[in-house]
A and B are shown apart, each in its own frame.
Chain A
Amino acid sequence: MASPLEFEALLAPLLDRAYGLALHLTRDRADAEDLVQEAALLAFRGFQGFTPGTNFRAWFFRILTNAFITSHRRKKHEPETVPLDDAPNAYLQRRAHEVVADGTGRPGLTGGELASAVIGKLETEQVEAAIAALPEEFRAASALYFLADLSYREIGESLGVPIGTVRSRLHRGRALLQRQLWRLAEDHGLVAAAARGGGDR
């Protein structure tokens, strides 16, 4: 058995992101803590199989995701999620362009500035809520993409799905996420505020 100290030295810098990933997968703070601990234990037990110098982050996040899939997934019923009708890609910037084209907002404002300003005005919790509202297959791929810095191939290995499935889940999940963010921003009056204020962030 490897030394806990050696293992902890590799895990400690990843802990915030591991917890963030676990939080997106489980959508519950206590479950997320349990999942990180469970994954750490599993990874430590299999640490002999880890090749030093290779990607510990990808290896650990794969273990964490598998632990979620095998145990936590069955614990919870899926809460209400966003409807699955398709959103086009680059949804948020398309809508921002529409607002600008309508003449809403300060003169000279571009769609790109508005899209960025809208994201800038959203709170971290609102972005988290938008991810949390994605159906699980999109949420898991999106969380691995945003938090774990994994390639499509590594995400596929983590989720046990082919790379083409990862690509389609990520692209569709991204469009759904942007639609959720835009709606959240509209509901909170942030689009109008961003249009008036332009690119302030």
Chain B
Amino acid sequence: MSPSRLTCAETFARLDDYVDRELAPDEVREVVAHLESCVVCAGEFEIERRLLDDIRGKLRRVRAPADLMAKVSSRLRAE
């Protein structure tokens, strides 16, 4: 892996896109190189990723009402 050319601030500015896997391959390589050489930024990225996973996990506990699928089926069959 080549040494990172990104500063901490430049890496941090790419945090959201990196976590979301929306960076171009070249930028991913740059960010990964920085994270491998910077414990502080690596920690920040890990926290952000975990926070988003936690929020996602909580939001996905919502359950549809038990009879919703039956209501949908009934409307489809009335078509």
- Interface residues of chain A, those whose CB is within 8 Å of chain B, are 1, 4, 7-8, 11-12, 15-20, 23-24, 29, 33, 36-37, 40-41, 44-45, 89-90, 92-93, 111-112, 115-116, 119-120, 122, 124, 127-128, 131, 145-147, 151-152, 167, 170-171, 174, 177-178, 181
- Interface residues of chain B, those whose CB is within 8 Å of chain A, are 12, 15-17, 20, 22, 43-44, 46-48, 50-52, 54-56, 58-65, 68-69, 71-73, 75-77, 79
Q: What are 28 A-B contacts defined by CB distance under 8 Å?
A: A4-B73, A4-B79, A8-B73, A8-B76, A15-B68, A17-B60, A19-B68, A29-B65, A33-B68, A37-B75, A40-B76, A90-B47, A90-B48, A111-B47, A112-B43, A112-B46, A116-B47, A119-B55, A119-B58, A124-B62, A127-B58, A127-B59, A145-B20, A146-B55, A147-B56, A151-B22, A152-B20, A174-B52
Kindly list chain A residues whose C-beta atoms are within 8 Å of the C-beta of B59: 20, 24, 124, 127-128, 131, 146-147
